[in-house]
Structure 1
Amino acid sequence: MIFQLYSSSASMQLLGWILVFAGLILINEIGRRTKIGGMIVFVIIPAILTVYFIAIHCGAFGGDANPTMAYMDGWFHYFKLYAADIGCVGFMMIKYKWGLGKKEWFKWWPWFIVAANIMIANVSDLESAWAAYNITGDLSGAWWASNEGVFIYGGWWNVLNCIAGMINIFCMTGCIKLFTSNDKNKSDMLWPDMTIWFILAYDVWNFEYTYLNLPTHSWYCGVALLLAPTFANAFWNKGAWIQNRANTLAIWCMWAQVIPLFQLKGTFAAALPRVYGGATEAGITTMDLYEQAIALYNSNVGKTAAAGQAIEQMGITADPTAQGVIAILSVIVNVVCIMVIIKRSIKAGRNPYSNNVFEGTRDFEEAMARAEK
């Protein structure tokens, strides 16, 4: 088992997962189908939230006691939210041909925003590996506490996943061959060459990233959040995976920023990953881990052996088996993907980044059938 779904809370954790998965799909549909929906979800609501966040920092809405301030005030959370939302607005500009969206050079924007986000994740993996190395002198594994209030078990798996992430950037092909969907509302920005090859390689890599670096959140942001756009792409929205990925990421970040206790405490608290061996049996919750981790971080001992000592006192024994297995799988899947791309681009005699590579495959042709000519 990758997650510890065998406690008395398992049924509520599963229900919470279903609610998040369904909610992401539903709000994404509202945001993608019309210009008004897109403006509300990705412009008006983020603008209102920006005022709300500023007001909290000025002491309104509970000030320091506000859940956003108390649990989600780190720069990373805000950066992720606004980076995702900027990506969504850029994709809207391309599909509706607004402003810069009319320019041919702006078609590189989706590649750039995805590559930048992958690189940020790669840096997180390297930070975790370095923290572990500084504690043990090797990459065999060590606990440390992050500024997000998460106990992370860093090690060689982080290095492997960073390598997979670097490869994944070069698995994005046909980067400027973007189209608007041919339906009445011009609902989607299509990237036809982003087929199941890239989607699978990305999903495995990104799940491992969340599992390694945001383990107490990965039940939602590593499983439900990744599957929502993949599900939509598979069944009714072929070719628009990257748009849906950005949309659902922004939607989740907004929700998590305003309602952080949903996944930390109470009825729908996230299921714990296997790496926290024995935590569920010992009655340790996601919130217990957060409180201990943030206390260590605030005491400036988060990247010391004190993190491992705190984990041991909670009766938890590190079990990185799943971390290692998925890291190896992440590298394998991405290596296979890039090899297929190299083979197809050589055979076609084309630059794989300014030209399509997967013409003739079912995914590509189904996406092109939806493209505005």
Structure 2
Amino acid sequence: MFLFETISFEAALAWLAILTALVVVNEITRYNKQMGILFFIVIPIVLTIFVWPITSGADSGAQTANWFAWVKTYSALIGCYIGLGLRFSKRLQAKRWCLLLAPGILAINILEAVIREVEVVGMQGITEGMFYMGGPWNYLNATAGIINILCISGWFGILISKDKHHDLVWPDMLWFWIIAYDLWNFAYVYNCLTDRAFFSAALLISCTIPAFTTKRGAWAQHRVHTLALYMMAMMTFPSFFIESSVAVPSTHDPIAYWTVSIVSLLFNLGVLAYQVRTIIVRRKNPLTEDIYDHFKEHQAIVKANR
């Protein structure tokens, strides 16, 4: 295959199982505050003390025994804590500046990946237990990541739904930004997570599905929840994603690296161009206003959550 080696029937089933588990558990974690506390505070504390030092510690020899895996895990968990605070604390909701915390942690999360992408440029062969093939494509996708950060809009337009779930809803985060993010993120995991990219694609789709079905407008919440859950699983069972019988290696074909990175960059450039045009034509202040409040989808999301 172009991107991956042969995908066995068992590997396809494992991929579907991971996707399904992430979608289902995400729904459980958004059900109420107690579920959020259990999955994102209690369980990570137990794993941090008793499990991860063994499975992903510096002396473990695991593919997750590096700074990025640890930082990504805890930055995702911090994003969950910010979401829990905004969703269930009236005090935080009353302070307008606190709304900046959600897009802020999202931007930091993307920036972490951009830094890692640039770091991977100099990696060739087996490094940290995985095969890397760094190249110019990493710079292309790092640029796409920076553009994706610049295209985050509606920082002050975040809402908390009035239903029992108290979801964090972001009306200005519409489908084209989400697709731009997905393309960038897939290129990132393909370039930098190498032979773990196959299952990382399931993670990426697991937050996109509910963003267009069960709870529209809550992509950021779905993303941080599924990312935290996935990272917790990866830190606990690092060998499953790369050494098990269902692991699917990447082809490590330079053409594949170039392709995913070019597609990522071009789509993000398109979103940036459209955003700049919208700001100019509609005379919007991107720092304080929702840019896309003229979209019916935006208006529907606002109406459904107020």
Question: Normalising by the residue count of structure 2, what TM-score does the alignment of the two structures yield?
Answer: 0.93
* CA distance in 2 between partners of 1:261 and 1:44 (Å): 24
Which of 38, 41, 53 in structure 1 is aligned with 2:39? Answer: 41
User: Does the Cα contact within 8 Å between 1:167 and 1:334 map onto a contact in 2?
Assistant: yes
Q: Please, which moves more after superposition, 250-259 or 63-72?
A: 63-72
* CA distance in 1 between partners of 2:186 and 2:14 (Å): 18
Secondary structure at the residue paired with 2:132?
strand
Matches within 5 A, 1:131-146: 131=122, 143-146=124-127
* CA distance in 2 between partners of 1:64 and 1:209 (Å): 24
Shift in Å at residue 65 of structure 1? 10
Shift in Å at residue 212 of structure 1? 0.3
Q: Which runs of 5+ in 1 are unaligned?
A: 58-62, 133-142, 276-318
1:206-252, CA deviations, whole angstroms, 9 ceiling, x for partnerless residues? 1101100111111111x101101111111121100011000000000
Distance change (3 Å), C-alpha of 1:238 and 1:68:
farther
Distance change (3 Å), C-alpha of 1:36 and 1:65:
closer
Question: Normalising by the residue count of structure 1, what TM-score does the alignment of the two structures yield?
Answer: 0.77
1:132-177, CA deviations, whole angstroms, 9 ceiling, x for partnerless residues? 6xxxxxxxxxx34333x22111111111111111111011101111
Which of 240, 244, 258 in structure 1 is aligned with 2:218? Answer: 240
Secondary structure at the residue paired with 1:152?
strand
Which of 23, 26, 36 in structure 2 is aligned with 1:28? Answer: 26
Matches within 5 A, 1:1-373: 1-6=1-6, 10-53=8-51, 57=53, 69-71=60-62, 72-97=64-89, 99-129=91-121, 131=122, 143-147=124-128, 149-186=129-166, 188-221=167-200, 223-269=201-247, 271-275=248-252, 319-372=253-306
Q: Which runs of 5+ in 2 are unaligned?
A: none
Secondary structure at the residue paired with 2:30?
helix
Shift in Å at residue 64 of structure 1? 7.8
1:256-280, CA deviations, whole angstroms, 9 ceiling, x for partnerless residues? 11112221233322x11121xxxxx
* CA distance in 2 between partners of 1:207 and 1:262 (Å): 20
- Calculate percent identity across the aligned residue pairs: 30
1:96-137, CA deviations, whole angstroms, 9 ceiling, x for partnerless residues? 2255454211111112111111111111221222x16xxxxx
1:34-58, CA deviations, whole angstroms, 9 ceiling, x for partnerless residues? 11111111111112112214xx75x
CA-based RMSD of the aligned residues comes to: 2.1
Secondary structure at the residue paired with 1:79?
helix
User: Does the Cα contact within 8 Å between 2:151 and 2:272 map onto a contact in 1?
Assistant: yes
Q: How many residues align?
A: 305
* CA distance in 1 between partners of 2:66 and 2:41 (Å): 22
User: Does the Cα contact within 8 Å between 1:68 and 1:259 map onto a contact in 2?
Assistant: no
Distance change (3 Å), C-alpha of 1:145 and 1:261:
closer
Secondary structure at the residue paired with 2:304?
coil
Q: Please, which moves more after superposition, 325-334 or 245-254?
A: 325-334
Distance change (3 Å), C-alpha of 1:65 and 1:325:
closer
* CA distance in 2 between partners of 1:70 and 1:50 (Å): 17
Higher alpha-carbon Rg: 1
* CA distance in 2 between partners of 1:89 and 1:232 (Å): 20
